[in-house]
């Protein structure tokens, strides 16, 4: 693995783009105007555009990101557009008919895209998500993985800090950002335990295209007063790549731990719901909890690293406490116990 590429990408700050500069981009390249609202992001600069009649999402990322990778995201959106289980945003073409613009803003090379806005909201702000939402997120993850199983694109072969295949190396590299010795020791222990458990399973893990960020933040929901939430669609394909299939579910489960009120068994309905639609191999089920533990460590370390690079990023600061909470829940129970619980949740026993 080119660790240097991974390290460089993991420390990129958000591009510096003002509202006025974003409005100029929209007017010049898309013929659109309206009001802009900044949207939180770790390494991209995103805005919500309201023209008065329609809403769009303007996404601006570093020029260091490969256009092949970004085009893979567009191709995946097109691939999924006809899927009946969920909506995905369409890509709006610029005046020159291009879906992806590469421009310079005050000496910064950036890539620019405009996407449709899916009406609804995320449930990231909801403290406790009911079992029905947990199940629906597991089902959504399964539907996406089934739909992407036959999707291929050169841009899926990418180096990304969220790829669990690189988690062990990334954890070791980012550890110095943690100044508290006890916290650092906990992260080291978790990373090593997860790595040791994964090693004998890796060869059996299927690989395919995955979204890798199916969470309560990126699923869009709506409800009428007095009625339950209904899933509207899925957004943010920025982490799309080819990796272990089960990694997708591990990301969803790690995100759910933030709402688990300290109970790691809270995620089991999501796993059972996924497995009922898209059955996992026993090795994938055994790998699931170590992947969740590794993901929780990477979340904490990546956000702490980003906060040190960009201390004024309110989005990162707001997420840090929740990510430490995910890590605490993920490391609160022996790995073997959770492996047994996961197998039991899908009707299997330990081999």
Confidence of residue 349 (pLDDT cuts 50, 70, 90): confident
Task: Determine the average pLDDT of the residues in 15-38.
Answer: 95
Check: CB of residue 130 under 8 Å from CB of residue 266. Answer: no
Check: CB of residue 315 under 8 Å from CB of residue 42. Answer: yes
Give tens-digit pLDDT for 284-335. Answer: 999 999 999 999 999 999 999 888 877 877 777 888 989 999 999 999 999 9
What pLDDT shows up at residue 290? 99
Those residues whose C-beta lies under 8 Å from the C-beta of residue 258, and which sit 6 or more positions away, are 322, 323, 325, 326
Tell me what the pLDDT averaged over the chain comes to.
Answer: 93
Task: Determine the average pLDDT of the residues in 101-119.
Answer: 95
Give tens-digit pLDDT for 55-98. Answer: 999 999 999 889 999 999 999 999 999 777 789 999 999 999 99
Classify domain 3-116 by CATH number: 3.30.200.20
* Fold match, 3-116 / 131-345: no
3-state secondary structure 38-106: EECCCCCEEEEEECCCCEEEEEEEECCCCHHHHHHHHHHHHHHCCCCCCECCCEECCCCCCCCEEEEEC
Pick the range with the lowest mean pLDDT from 36-45, 175-184, 189-198.
36-45
DSSP lists the bridge partners of residue 112 as 60, 101
What fold does the segment set 131-345 form as a domain? Aminoglycoside 3'-phosphotransferase; Chain: A, domain 2 (3.90.1200)
Confidence of residue 1 (pLDDT cuts 50, 70, 90): very low
Pick the range with the lowest mean pLDDT from 32-46, 182-196, 205-219, 254-268.
32-46
Closest CA to 90 of 106, 101, 79: 79
Closest CA to 139 of 278, 31, 296, 328: 278
Closest CA to 292 of 248, 250, 331, 257: 250
- B/e letters for 94-104, b = 16+ CB within 10 Å, e = fewer, are beeeebbbeee
Confidence of residue 9 (pLDDT cuts 50, 70, 90): low
Task: State the Cα torsion 145-150-155-158 to the nearest 10°.
Answer: 50
C-alpha distance across the termini of the chain, in Å: 33
| DSSP string computed for 178-195 | ---HHHHHHHHHHHHHHH
Taking the C-alpha atoms of residue 123 and residue 67, their distance in angstroms, rounded to an integer, is 31
What pLDDT shows up at residue 6? 64
Give tens-digit pLDDT for 258-290. Answer: 999 999 999 999 999 999 999 999 999 999 999
Under DSSP, is residue 4 helix (H, G, I), strand (E, B) or coil? helix
pLDDT at 124 over 90: no
Closest CA to 303 of 318, 287, 286: 318
Per-residue tokens: 225? 């007063």
pTM for this structure? Answer: 0.94
Domain residue ranges in the chain: 3-116, 131-345
Task: Determine the average pLDDT of the residues in 142-151.
Answer: 97
Identify the sign of the CA torsion 221, 225, 136, 296: positive
C-alpha angle 121/124/129, rounded to 5°? 100
Closest CA to 5 of 139, 141, 161, 114: 161
DSSP lists the bridge partners of residue 59 as 46, 113
Confidence of residue 42 (pLDDT cuts 50, 70, 90): low
- Percent of the chain's residues with pLDDT above 90: 80
């Amino acid at each position: 693995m080119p660790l240097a590429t991974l390290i460089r990408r993991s420390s990129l700050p958000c591009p510096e783009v003002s509202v006025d500069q974003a409005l100029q981009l929209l007017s010049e390249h898309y013929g659109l105007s309206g009001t802009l609202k900044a949207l939180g992001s770790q390494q991209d600069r995103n805005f919500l555009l309201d023209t008065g009649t329609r809403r769009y999402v303007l996404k601006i990322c570093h020029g260091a990101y490969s256009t092949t990778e970004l085009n893979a995201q567009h191709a995946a959106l097109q691939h999924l557009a006809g899927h009946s289980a969920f909506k995905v945003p369409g890509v709006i073409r610029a005046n020159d008919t291009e879906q992806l613009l590469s421009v310079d803003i005050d000496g910064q090379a950036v890539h620019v895209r405009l996407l449709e806005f899916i009406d609804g909201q995320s449930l990231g702000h909801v403290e406790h998500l009911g079992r029905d939402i947990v199940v629906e997120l597991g089902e959504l993850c399964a539907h996406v993985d089934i739909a992407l199983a036959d999707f291929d694109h050169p841009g899926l072969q990418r180096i990304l800090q969220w790829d669990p295949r690189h988690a062990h190396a990334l954890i070791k590299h980012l550890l110095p950002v943690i100044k508290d010795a006890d916290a650092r020791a906990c992260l080291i222990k978790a990373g090593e335990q997860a790595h040791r458990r994964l090693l004998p399973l890796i060869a059996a893990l299927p690989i395919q295209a995955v979204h890798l960020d199916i969470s309560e933040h990126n699923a869009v929901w709506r409800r009428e007063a007095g009625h339950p939430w209904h899933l509207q669609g899925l957004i943010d394909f920025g982490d799309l790549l080819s990796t272990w299939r089960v990694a997708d579910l591990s990301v969803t489960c790690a995100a759910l731990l933030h709402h688990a009120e300290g109970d790691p068994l809270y995620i089991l309905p999501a796993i059972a719901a996924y497995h009922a639609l898209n059955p996992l191999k026993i090795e994938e089920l055994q790998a699931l909890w170590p992947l969740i533990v590794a993901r929780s460590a990477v979340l904490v370390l990546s956000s702490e690293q980003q906060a040190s690079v960009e201390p004024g990023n309110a989005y990162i600061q707001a997420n840090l406490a929740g990510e430490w909470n995910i890590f605490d829940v993920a490391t609160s129970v022996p790995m073997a116990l959770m492996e047994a619980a996961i197998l039991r949740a899908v009707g299997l026993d330990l081999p």
